[in-house]
Amino acid sequence: MSSVASLSELFPSTVQGETIKNNPNELGQEDFMTLLVTQLENQDPTKPMDNLEFISQLAQFGTVSGIQDLQGGFSGLSSVLYANQALQAAGLVGQEVSTSSNMGYLAEEGGELNATVALPGDATSLKLYVQDQSGELIYSGSFGATEQGNLNVSWDGTDAEGNTVAPGRYRLSAEAWIDGQNEAVSVYPRQRVESVSVAGDGSGVLLNLADGSQVSTSSVKSFH
């Protein structure tokens, strides 16, 4: 009796670790086991299948099946985490967030623009500057001695003469006198979250801010 071809010859796509698709033209796990039993029943008694080869073929099939199960499990876990992220982000609607940008948004005439100044050390004085989008300085305000850390500041939307300015985007910057030196310090304007969107490429959840821009939740520095 001639020996029966090995599984690697009869079922190369499974043994070599390729993805098994669920369609009529390819074999699944039950088909594989049927094929294995048939091979054992019809093998040449004078040339029985080597035990190591038998175990190897089973292990290879089990590896492929296990990887597919893991992939399915990770896909399901990713969907759950993604949905949970979207649900949490929806709770931010109506709140203010700060990002790494120093561009703030004055939502309405007569309104306020809130921001956080990050001081790397105790400051004997602090000065806040507001520029319009053309770079023209329209306001500056002074603060007294301030301890190291985050300082909440607010601009009332007026220029140096006290006139109300138009709503729009404004750049904020600050300088502080720290350890006998005047140095620039970071300012993080806050913006209101108007709504939440799901990225079209499935990469994450986006926050739609009051000025019309979008930021990912990972780029938010703080929530207020």
What is the per-residue pLDDT across 164-187, written as a single tens digit (0 to 9) for each? Answer: 999 999 999 999 999 999 999 999
Whether residue 219 sits in one domain with residue 159: yes
The CA–CA distances, whole Å, from 68 to 18, 65, 81, 94 equal 10, 5, 20, 42
Query: Tell me, what's the pLDDT at 69?
Result: 58
Single residue among 44, 60, 90 that ends a domain in this structure? 90
Residues 6+ apart with CB under 8 A from 136: none
Q: Which pLDDT score, from 0 to 100, does residue 136 have?
A: 95
70, 90, 110: which is the final residue of a domain?
90
Mean of the per-residue pLDDT values for the chain?
77
Which of 74, 90, 106 is a domain's end point? 90
Phi, psi (degrees; rounded to nearest 5) at 54: -60, -50
CA distances from 173 to 33, 100, 101, 176 (A): 71, 12, 11, 10
Q: Say yes or no: 18 and 49 in one domain.
A: yes
Rg (CA), the chain: 33
For residues 170 and 113, the answer to whether their CB atoms sit within 8 Å is yes
Higher-confidence residue: 40 or 218? 218
Range of the domain at 83: 7-90
Q: Looking at the domain assignment, is residue 2 inside a domain?
A: no
Count H helices and E strands in the chain, helices first.
4, 11
CATH code for position 199: 2.60.40.4070
Kindly give, in sequence order, each residue whose CB lies less than 8 Å from that of residue 156, ignoring residues fewer than 6 positions away: 112
**Which among 223, 212, 151 is positioned nearest to 190, based on CA atoms?**
223
Choice between 163 and 55, residue whose per-residue pLDDT is larger: 163
pLDDT of res. 91: 78
The torsion angles phi and psi of 124, rounded to 5 degrees, stand at -80, -20
Residue 1 pLDDT > 50 = no
Domain co-membership, 110 together with 82: no
pLDDT at 219: 84
Assigned domain for 32 exists? yes
Give the pLDDT confidence score for residue 179 in this predicted structure.
93
Per-residue confidence (pLDDT) for residue 40, from 0 to 100: 64
Nearest 10 degrees: Cα torsion 206, 214, 141, 151: 10
Half-sphere exposure of 16 (CA within 13 A, CB side): 7
The enclosing H or E element of 83 equals helix 51-90
For residue 217 the two structure tokens come to 């939740």
Q: Distance between CA atoms of 218 and 205, rounded to whole angstroms?
A: 9
> 104 and 208 share a domain?
yes
Are residues 129 and 214 both part of a single domain?
Answer: yes
Number of structural domains in the chain:
2
Q: Confirm if 195 and 93 have CB atoms less than 8 A apart.
A: yes
Do the beta carbons of residue 39 and residue 4 sit within 8 Å?
A: yes
Q: How far is CA 27 from CA 36, 55, 119, 174, in A?
A: 12, 19, 66, 68
- Per-residue pLDDT tens for 19-63? 444 555 555 556 666 766 676 666 655 555 555 565 566 666 556
What pLDDT digit, counting tens, does each position of 105-115 carry? 999 988 899 99
Confidence of residue 103 (pLDDT cuts 50, 70, 90): very high
> What is the per-residue pLDDT for 66?
56
Entry pTM: 0.60
pLDDT band at 217 (very low <50, low <70, confident <90, very high): confident
The SS3 call for residue 154 is strand
Pair 200, 185 in one domain: yes
pLDDT level of residue 16 (50, 70, 90 thresholds): very low
